[in-house]
Amino acid sequence: MRLNVIIVLLVILVFPLSQAMADDNLFDQFQDYAADEIDAYATPVVEAFGIGVGSGLYHTARTHGTLGFDVGLRAMMVLIPQGKSAILDSADVKLVPLPVIQASVGLPMDFEVMARGFSFSFQDKTVSLYGAAVKKSLSSLIPIPGFPDVSAMIAYHSFKGGDVLTASVLSFDAMVSKTFLVISPYAGFGLDRTSMKVEYAYQPPSVPPLPPPPEVPVSHTIKVSTGRFTVGLNLTPVPFVKIFADYTFAKFSEATAGLAISIR
């Protein structure tokens, strides 16, 4: 894939994220709540974020052979129904896209390592996400001819959103896939443990004619655990090119689409 095509795709994917995650409107929503309120209001945001970050890690249960590799683009899109999150409703966010460049390489003993992420600045704010994962094929433990490929994965991501949000996501996945010529359906179950820290200055409401009270610094960490079930389809229209899409069933639904060059 030529470099200019990759740049165009990145602009298309990253611009909606910059609107959703780096816009003043969204960050300001957190600052409307006192320390004893933020946990209840921000928990749905943390749950949706963890589901999005933990998704899109794989498009097959197969692992690469030694030094086989996979590189491409994918976008995880978390759907936000109205009424699920007061913060996202107030910011008019209905979709949280998380685009990443992702690469993986095969190691001996049916292991595979992966890295992915993005980083950009928007309106004087830096938004970044970096992740790494280890995948292990378990198919050798199931010596049944024609049995689907089976593997397990553990992944860790670190996120920074301006000066307000920092987060980490630890994900555990088990997946299965089966190849039929150029079509490979796949499915998986995952668990995400998400920790998000919010830091801001809260302005308590004033009571006229008294002067406004001083701002109160807030530093609070929210931790959640979420589960998800994913089904998807991987197509190989030409050799070494993978086009894939999947849908995740979770507390917040999520869809992933991607394109990769893969040499196994």
In contact, 130 and 117? CB cutoff 8 Å? yes
What pLDDT, on the 0 to 100 scale, is given for residue 39?
A: 80
Q: Which residues of 64-80 are buried (b: 16+ CB within 10 A; e: fewer)?
A: beeebbbebbbbbbbbb
* pLDDT score, position 14: 43
Distance CA 12, CA 129 (A): 17
Residue 202 reports pLDDT greater than 90: no
**Of residues 141 and 2, which shows the higher confidence score?**
141
Q: Can you tell me the mean pLDDT for 242-255?
A: 95
Cα separations (Å) of 49 from 64, 165, 195, 209, 231? 29, 11, 10, 41, 19
* Lowest mean pLDDT, pick from 92-96, 196-200, 253-257: 92-96
Q: How is the chain split among helix, strand and coil, in percent rounded to 5?
A: 20, 50, 30
| pLDDT for 250 | 95
pLDDT of residue 27: 61
How much is the average pLDDT of 237-260?
94
Q: Tell me which residue range forms the domain holding 173.
A: 3-263
φ, ψ at 195 (rounded to 5°): -125, 120
pLDDT at position 10: 39
Choose between 128 and 87: higher pLDDT: 128
pLDDT at residue 103 tops 60: yes
Per-residue pLDDT for 5 more than 50?
no
- Output the pLDDT for position 215: 83
Bridge partner list, 135? 112, 153
Mean pLDDT of 194-208: 84
Region 58-72 average pLDDT: 94
User: Do 42 and 30 contact (CB within 8 A), yes or no?
Assistant: yes
C-alpha closest to that of 242 among 223, 264, 227, 222: 264
Q: pLDDT, tens digit, for every residue of 13-62?
A: 444 444 454 444 566 667 777 677 778 788 888 999 999 999 999 999 99
DSSP state of 180: B
Domain containing residue 226: CATH number? 2.40.160.20
Structure tokens at 177: 């896939």
**How far lies 3's CA from each of 86, 130, 214, 228, in Å?**
40, 21, 51, 34
Number of domains in the chain: 1
What was the pLDDT predicted at 122? 66
- pLDDT higher at 212 or 141: 141
Element (H, E) at 174: strand 165-177
pTM of the predicted structure, to 2 decimals: 0.86
pLDDT digits (tens, 9 = 90+) for 105-117: 999 999 999 999 9
Residue 184 pLDDT greater than 90, yes or no:
yes
Do 234 and 177 form a contact (C-beta atoms < 8 A)? yes
Tokens of 152: 């397990």
CA 129 and chain centroid, separation? 9
